[in-house]
Amino acid sequence: MANAQPEPHTIRPSGASQWLFPILCPLFLCLPSPYRWAAYAANSSSAGGAGVNRPGYVGDAACAGCHREQALSYSHTAHHLTSQLPSGTSILGSFKEGENILMIQNPPTTEVDPRLYFKMDLRNGDYYQTAVAEKGSQKLTRSERIGIVTGSGVRGQTYLYWAGNELFELPVSYWRSGNQWINSPGYEDGTANFSRHVDPRCLECHAAYIRPLSSDPQTNVYDQDSLVTGISCETCHGPAANHIVLERAGSGTRIKAPEPFILNPAKFSRDRQVDLCALCHNGADREELVPAFSYLPGKPLDQYFGPEPAGSGQPDVHGNQVGLLKKSRCYLSSPSMSCSTCHDVHRRERTAAEYSDRCLGCHRWQSCGVARTMGSKIAQNCIDCHMPMQVTNAIVSKTANGLIRTSIRTHRIAIYSGPSAEGQSTTVEPIQ
Residues of the chain with pLDDT under 50: 1-19, 21-22, 25-50, 420-424, 428-432
For residue range 334-381, list pLDDT tens digits in order: 999 999 999 999 999 999 999 999 999 999 999 998 888 889 999 999
174 vs 160: CA distance, rounded Å: 12
User: What per-residue confidence (pLDDT) applies to 398?
Assistant: 80
pTM: 0.83
Rg (the chain; Cα; Å): 24
Report the chain's terminal Cα–Cα distance, integer Å. Answer: 43
User: What per-residue confidence (pLDDT) applies to 404?
Assistant: 80
355 vs 348: CA distance, rounded Å: 13
